[in-house]
């Protein structure tokens, strides 16, 4: 099974400050927006490009200019995060998550990858500094640098995990793991299963649209074990 993990609120907790500051710096450097207005804006589960666009629209920047300079914002944000990212984010790994990843990585019936709104260089550095980046191979996953619309990311990840002839990884053997309604929505858009974990800003009741909801990494492990076992039975 291809397991597509979100990062912020799922794998890592309270690790977004430097990331936020890097986005703000990029908007200032590229567009001259010095005080982005986030009032009333829910950023959880959104891509970096989507967040940047919304902040720029609020600041009065035109759509054409946003599109023309989107790559510049991405490059500036990734460079800024390289300077701002704390050297050690290991304390931000969600309780029990490293142990769960270790168990899943040791199996021969799972492929671990990322589906995250983070630009890929930010995602990779964030997880490397947290000590869990080695669980997620380069060349796999779907990122905010691949598409501004998060609903497109699971399909991108399945394409990358697919066969050499271009056949994508099957939807029936794919699951998204995340902590927000947007994670659930992106899985639904691609027709794949989704397990939600209530370690981010949303309570269990707000995540009931998922196929399963777990309160923590231990409960999430139980869900994934059941799904993997069911897959083996169907394969016989």
- Give the confidence band of 214 by pLDDT, cuts at 50, 70, 90: very high
d(CA 22, CA 17): 9
Please give the model's pTM, rounded to 2 decimal places.
0.94
CB 53 within 8 A of CB 66: yes
pLDDT in tens, 90-141: 999 999 999 999 999 999 999 999 999 999 999 999 999 999 999 999 999 9
- Give the confidence band of 87 by pLDDT, cuts at 50, 70, 90: very high
Extract the tokens encoding 184.
């659930």
CB 160 within 8 A of CB 127: no
Q: Name the segment(s) of the chain with CATH classification 3.40.50.1000.
A: 2-14+90-235
Residue identified by tokens 């902590």 is 179
Extract the tokens encoding 125.
């550095």
**What's the helix, strand, coil split of the chain in %, to 5?**
50, 10, 40
CB count in 10 Å sphere of residue 131: 15
Mean predicted confidence (pLDDT) in 32-37? 87
CB 90 within 8 A of CB 65: no
Instruction: Name which of 36, 33, 121 is nearest 85 in CA terms.
Output: 121
- Give the confidence band of 208 by pLDDT, cuts at 50, 70, 90: very high
CATH class of 17-84: mainly alpha
d(CA 205, CA 228): 25
Q: Does domain 2-14+90-235 have CATH number 3.50.50.60?
A: no
């Amino acid at each position: 099974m291809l397991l597509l993990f979100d990062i912020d609120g799922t794998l890592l907790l309270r690790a977004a400050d430097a990331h936020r500051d890097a986005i703000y710096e990029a908007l200032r450097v590229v567009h001259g927006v010095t005080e982005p207005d986030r009032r009333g804006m829910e950023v959880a589960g959104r891509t970096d490009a989507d967040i940047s666009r919304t902040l720029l629209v609020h600041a009065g920047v035109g759509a054409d200019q946003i599109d023309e300079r989107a790559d510049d914002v991405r490059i500036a944000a990734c460079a800024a995060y390289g300077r701002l990212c704390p050297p050690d984010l290991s304390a931000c790994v969600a309780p029990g998550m490293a142990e769960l990843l270790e168990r899943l990585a040791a199996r021969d019936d799972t492929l671990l990858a990322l589906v995250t709104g983070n630009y890929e260089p930010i995602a990779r550095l964030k997880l490397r500094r947290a000590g869990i980046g080695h669980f997620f191979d380069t060349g796999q996953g779907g990122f905010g640098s691949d598409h501004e619309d998060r609903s497109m990311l699971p399909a991108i990840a399945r394409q990358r995990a697919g066969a050499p002839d271009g056949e994508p990884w099957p939807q029936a053997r794919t699951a998204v793991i995340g902590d927000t309604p947007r994670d659930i929505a992106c899985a639904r858009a691609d027709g794949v299963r989704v397990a939600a974990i209530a370690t981010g800003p949303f309570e269990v009741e707000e995540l009931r649209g998922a196929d399963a909801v777990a309160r923590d990494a231990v409960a999430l492990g139980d869900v994934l074990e059941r799904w993997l076992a069911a897959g083996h039975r169907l394969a016989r």
